[in-house]
Amino acid sequence: MRPEVPVLLHEADVLIIGGGAAGTMAALECAGAGVATIQVTKGRATSGTTTVARGGFAAAMGRDDSPELHLQDVLKYGGELIDPELARVWVYDIVDVVRDLESWGAEFIYGADGQLDLKMFPNHSRARACHHHDTTGNMITKVLSKKLRADGRIEKHSLTAVVDLVKRDGRVVGAWGVDYQKGALAIYRAQQVILCTGGGSGLFYVNDNPPQVTGDGYVLGFRAGVPLVGIEMIDFQAMCCSPKELFGFAPHPTGFINAGAVFRNREGEEFLKRYFPDTAEKSTRSEVILAMAKEIHAGRAGSTGGIFMDATKVPLKIIQKQIPHVYKTCLHRGIDITKTPLEVAPGSHTWLGGLKIDVDGKTPVDGLLAAGETAGGIHGGNRIGGSALAASLVFGRRAGRTAAALAKEARVKSAGPNDAAIPESERAWLAALMRRDSGPFQSDVRMNCRMLAHNKLGPIRQERMLKEALAEYERMEREDVPAMRLDDRARSSDKLLGEELESACSVRNLALLGRILATAALKRTESRGAHFRLDYPDTDDLHWSVVTRLQSGANGSIEFHPDPIKNPSAAVA
């Protein structure tokens, strides 16, 4: 390790890693419980993927609705792999969270009757999406950010990336990372650690997440011994590939569908009617994406590789009501969606699996909790609209409440936080990384990881592609990651050094995450929910009515275990 790179030491009762809705809810809960709290974020808190939740989130707030009805819809359309106990606490708790958000200043849209203007989303039996038109995520982010900034009890460490957790005697006692604003290493000692770093969409070249979202929580927990459940299930959504002015823009397809848009292939056919005669555009999210992917695979894509989301027959007043922000964004870039269809293709939006948790956010590893998109078992093999943000808000709060109680209990039993330090092997790896002046640049290895996932691990999968991806990620971990180097500019300032170190550590996470994803997808030799195998196109209930569980094995290996699906009756009151 270069002597001029400082090492900063921090201590807290609870360390929260992540700055989105889940992390912020956890931080507010811990602060309210009176425990010393540090929230570490790669960007600025509140950040993360919360802003991606445009159209609203589901909560049984209507007069004709109830959490029980909400639960029935979730279990019916959730791809069969949901943990029903997690679903139950989520649909009940979110009602109280909505009321709290309003007391904090959330500006949900109300109707003329003085009741919440609740949107109807596909696969819901009632209109239950609380919203702020199509900028709901932005509105919630502002509310949480304002409340977080005003709470001086929470120590906020922005522009800091946690590289790994530290364990002692089988329990997590802290973490270490890179403060890339100061160009320093940071060590955190804590009684409890909560992982809520978002999902793994940054593994894919095409995604709608902030660039800092690189699956860190999955990898940190996995290396610490927490199982990953259902990690092969990824929620791909339509993202623009044409016109070029909108490339990479995620245009909120649920809002388009609610407005009355249709999907067409290159020949102008409304192809969803062929796949799903009864539901067409109102089919589940995973069904729509899979049909899109099949059309593209069959050669019926447009000139830039996508299919067309066509709202040209929808009246302008409906567009302006359902998706005003999307309409204005497109218009600002010279595209009028009432006259020009958008060419869209599947991109990674959210991950449905994650670290195994219980209803209080605890993982099987002592001292470690998880929430938000980092946690698994909540969304199963599919995710009906309006679920991601709702679950993040609920389980962020539950994890914070649990961590605070456990930290208080630990205070009584011990004199202070357990010891945490950067392992010597990691110090040696970082020192070699900073000295090296040959080998592949970390930025190039990062891009290779992302393009490999884009080409081999997307919505349509098959054995040959999955084996190729698995072999290449294994090679990257074995050859490229140990040999990569930083950009020469990293030597010019502490800030650039910190940014390069953070990115290099993310590359190591991405390579492992790619291997994990390829392993899970290769093992599930059927099609179910958001996972489709070209070579196994049917659902095989006889052999694969199971939840995949991957665990870290000896010498960096990945152990695979199939767990029976929990009976939905477990969610019955």
Which CATH number goes with the domain that contains 541?
A: 1.20.58.100
pTM beyond 0.75: yes
Q: Inform me whether the pLDDT recorded for 414 exceeds 60.
A: no
Domain count, the chain: 2
What's the pLDDT score for residue 1?
A: 40
- Contacts of 362-365 spanning 24+ positions with Cβ under 8 A: 362/399, 362/402, 363/221, 363/226, 364/225, 364/226, 364/227, 365/167, 365/170, 365/171, 365/172, 365/221, 365/224, 365/225, 365/226
The region of weakest confidence among 305-309, 498-502, 517-521 is 498-502
What CATH number is attached to the domain comprising 261?
3.90.700.10
Q: Inform me whether the pLDDT recorded for 199 exceeds 50.
A: yes
What's the pLDDT score for residue 418?
A: 61
What's the pLDDT score for residue 339?
A: 94
**C-alpha distances in Å from residue 423, one per residue of 168, 207, 420:** 11, 34, 9
- 252 and 340 both lie in a single domain: yes
The domain in which residue 516 lies consists of 424-546
Q: What is the mean pLDDT of residues 529-557?
A: 95
Q: Inform me whether the pLDDT recorded for 237 exceeds 90.
A: no
- Is there a contact between 102 and 109 (Cβ–Cβ < 8 Å)? no
Q: Identify whether 108 is part of a domain.
A: no
User: How high does pLDDT run on average in the chain?
Assistant: 91
Q: Identify whether 128 is part of a domain.
A: no
What's the pLDDT score for residue 477?
A: 97
Q: What is the mean pLDDT of residues 360-383?
A: 95
Q: Which residues share a beta bridge with 184? A: 179
Share of the chain above pLDDT 90, in %: 72
Coil, strand or helix: which one is 479? helix
Query: Beta strand pairing status for 37-40 and 7-17?
Result: parallel
Quick one: angle between helices 136-150 and 21-32, nearest 10? 30
- 430 and 331 both lie in a single domain: no
H helices present in 371-527, as ranges: 388-413, 424-435, 442-456, 463-475, 481-483, 494-523
* Of 276, 178, 232, the residue nearest 525 (C-alpha): 232
Q: What is the mean pLDDT of residues 26-37?
A: 97
Domain boundary among 324, 347, 370: 347
Q: Identify whether 360 is part of a domain.
A: no
Q: Identify whether 409 is part of a domain.
A: no
Q: Is residue 382 very low, low, confident or very high in pLDDT (cuts 50, 70, 90)? A: confident
